[in-house]
């Protein structure tokens, strides 16, 4: 064999000819690992309280195709009861999931489970399970400081404060605050025509709790008392203290459910479930004062019939607000004006039944909707310039979905 045709001979020949080996071939550029986008979806399963049971299995993990937005199943963590709301820590190392139940302990509380997240596979490992501080929790969030998880307990109307330990696990509640107030009507006066749906106003029902972007205050929607509550949180003790103006009363019967802050934290978009309205309000990050400026419907003037608003999101660029309507099965698209006020520019069919949670993927390219009663997730491609939603025609089958969390790897 000609030695120059063998691997050793080729290297020897190059060296003899005076050509350095490193220069004998073009340098290979480093090939970065393919970025992956994972999506966790939770919802109701058979362990939910009577009337809330669903077809879900637990927390399902999917991988998103970054080009099409299609979701491909990966695995499911089944050992958890009705994880109807989940959220990831800011560094995505931990996932927190509530269980919308009322039999965790002798006090008939719900529970919150802390998981560590495998940053290579997305798999979950349970770290701890603690009481939510009340029955049937409906929402949780991580305080701006990262030191506490805040839980909205629907039945009984309480907010629980759970300390986050250094390893990401949770401790028992450091504070539980119970709301109280007068009985409110089941329906609002400004309902859409023909709306027979009612919201439960039999007592306090906290539906969402989160800190404002500055971290100075904690805000909660009480759908049973038609109020927004405001507290400050003592980070040393984990105790809540009422703001100078402890709550804002909204239209009787309107059932404030969820809210979203503008990026600067000075405008608050409050979604009222019963009358399907958004209240636009000014928020003072120094005092926690909330001043309403506008009420705008999430359905067009053509709509008549029963509807219950569910979720509200601000677009990543802050130029549009989106709201979901159950029963009416539509998505409202609002343009945000220079003053923060909203203009309804479109109402889009969800292509499914009883859409609840919505979430953008990390790139902001797609908007996903969890459709509880049709056991599916639908998605839309988002035009960041116009706010328009273009249905992708991707349906993801999953039992009774209600919540999302996205992880970028």
pLDDT (tens digit per residue) in 284-325:
999 999 999 999 999 999 999 999 999 999 999 999 999 999
Distance separating alpha carbons of residues 315 and 185, to the nearest angstrom: 33
Query: Residue 399 — φ and ψ, nearest 5°?
Result: -70, 125
Q: Is residue 69 part of a domain?
A: no
Q: Is residue 42 part of a domain?
A: no
Distance CA 131, CA 138 (A): 13
Average pLDDT of the chain to the nearest whole number: 91
For the entire predicted model, the pTM comes to 0.90
Q: Is the dihedral of CA 127, 131, 135, 138 positive or negative?
A: negative
Question: Where are the strands (E) in 100-235, listed by range?
Answer: 111-117, 124-131, 135-142, 148-155, 158-163, 175-178, 206-211, 218-222, 227-234
Exposure string of 309-330, with b = 16+ CB inside 10 Å and e = fewer, is bbbbbbbbeeebbbbbbbbbbb
C-alpha to C-alpha distance for 297 and 192, rounded to whole angstroms: 9
73 inside domain = no
Query: Is residue 20 over pLDDT 80?
Result: no
243-295, pLDDT tens digit by residue?
A: 999 999 999 999 999 999 999 999 999 999 999 999 999 999 999 999 999 99
Q: Model confidence over 221-231: pLDDT tens digits?
A: 999 999 999 99
pLDDT of residue 49: 72
In a domain, 34, yes or no: no
Residue 4 is assigned to a structural domain of this protein:
no
Q: Which of the four pLDDT bands, split at 50, 70 and 90, describes residue 47? A: confident
> What pLDDT, on the 0 to 100 scale, is given for residue 381?
98
For residue 42, the 8-state DSSP code is: E
**pLDDT (mean) for 119-146:** 97
Domain count, the chain: 1
Q: Are 145 and 218 in contact (CB under 8 A)?
A: no
Task: Give one DSSP letter per residue of 252-300, joined into a string.
Answer: TT--EEEEEE-TTS-EEEEEETTTTEEEEEEE-TTT--EEEEEEEESS-
Q: What is the DSSP letter of 170?
A: B
Report the share of the chain in percent with pLDDT over 70. Answer: 91
- For the stretch 59-101, pLDDT in tens is 999 999 999 999 999 999 999 999 999 999 999 999 999 999 9
Report yes or no on 63 lying in a domain. Answer: no
Q: Quote the pLDDT of residue 10.
A: 34
> What's residue 35's pLDDT?
84
Q: How many helices (H) and strands (E) does the chain have?
A: 1, 28
Backbone angles phi, psi at 24, to 5 degrees: -80, -10
- In terms of Cβ atoms closer than 10 Å to its own Cβ (0-12, 13-18, 19+), residue 209 is buried
Q: Which residues contact 253 (CB under 8 A, 6 or more apart)?
A: 184, 185, 186, 187, 188, 189, 199, 201, 226, 274, 275
The answer to whether position 291 is within a domain reads yes
**Is 302 part of any domain?**
yes
Q: Which structural domain, as residue segments, surrounds residue 295?
A: 87-408
- From 286, 165, 131, 163, select the one nearest 234 (Cα to Cα): 163
Cα gap 288→20, rounded to integer Å: 69
pLDDT at 14 over 70: no
Angle at 147 between CA 99 and CA 234, to 5 degrees: 110
- What are phi and psi for residue 31, nearest 5 degrees? -100, 110
Q: Which CATH number do you get for residue 238?
A: 2.130.10.10
Q: pLDDT, tens digit, for every residue of 338-368? A: 999 999 999 999 999 999 999 999 999 999 9
d(CA 214, CA 192): 35
How much is the CA Rg of the chain, to the nearest whole Å?
25
| Residue 90: strand, helix, or coil | coil
Q: Enumerate residues 6+ apart whose C-beta is below 8 A from 235.
A: 145, 147, 148
Closest CA to 204 of 186, 173, 233, 181: 181
CA gap 324, 357 in Å, rounded: 8
CA–CA gap between residue 206 and residue 183 (Å, rounded): 14
């Amino acid at each position: 064999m000609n030695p120059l045709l063998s691997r050793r001979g080729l290297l020897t020949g190059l060296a003899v000819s005076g050509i350095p080996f490193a220069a004998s071939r073009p340098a290979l550029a480093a090939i970065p690992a393919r970025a992956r986008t994972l999506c966790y979806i939770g919802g109701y399963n058979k362990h939910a309280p009577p009337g809330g049971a669903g077809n879900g299995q637990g927390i399902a993990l999917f991988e998103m195709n970054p080009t099409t937005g299609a979701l491909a199943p990966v695995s499911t963590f089944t050992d958890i009861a009705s994880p109807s709301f989940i959220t990831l820590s800011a560094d995505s190392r931990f996932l927190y999931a509530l269980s919308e139940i009322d039999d965790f302990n002798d006090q008939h509380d719900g529970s919150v489970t802390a998981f560590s997240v495998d940053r290579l596979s997305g798999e979950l490992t349970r770290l701890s399970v603690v009481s939510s501080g009340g029955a049937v929790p409906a929402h949780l969030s991580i305080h701006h400081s990262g030191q506490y998880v805040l839980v909205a307990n629907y039945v009984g109307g309480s907010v629980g404060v759970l300390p986050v330990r250094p390893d990401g696990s949770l401790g028992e509640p450091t504070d539980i605050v119970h709301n109280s107030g007068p009985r409110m009507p089941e329906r609002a006066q400004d309902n859409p025509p023909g709306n027979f749906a009612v919201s439960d106003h039999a007592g306090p029902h906290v539906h969402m709790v989160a800190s404002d972007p500055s971290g100075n205050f904690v805000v909660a929607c009480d759908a049973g008392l038609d109020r927004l509550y405001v507290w400050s949180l003592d980070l040393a003790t984990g105790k809540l203290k009422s703001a100078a103006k402890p709550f804002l009363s909204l239209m009787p019967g309107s059932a404030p459910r969820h809210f979203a802050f503008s990026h600067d934290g000075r405008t608050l978009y409050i979604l009222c479930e019963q009358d399907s309205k958004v209240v636009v309000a000014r928020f003072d990050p120094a005092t926690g004062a909330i001043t309403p400026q506008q009420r705008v419907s999430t359905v067009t003037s053509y709509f008549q019939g029963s509807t219950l608003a569910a979720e509200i999101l601000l677009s990543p660029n802050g130029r549009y607000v989106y709201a979901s309507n159950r029963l009416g099965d539509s998505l409202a698209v609002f343009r945000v004006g220079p003053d923060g006020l909203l203009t309804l520019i479109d109402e889009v069919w969800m292509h499914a039944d009883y859409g609840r949670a919505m979430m953008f993927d990390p790139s902001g390219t797609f908007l996903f909707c969890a459709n509880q009663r049709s056991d599916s997730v639908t998605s839309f491609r988002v035009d960041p310039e116009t706010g328009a939603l273009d249905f992708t025609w991707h349906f993801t089958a999953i039992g009774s979905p209600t919540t999302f969390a996205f992880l970028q790897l």
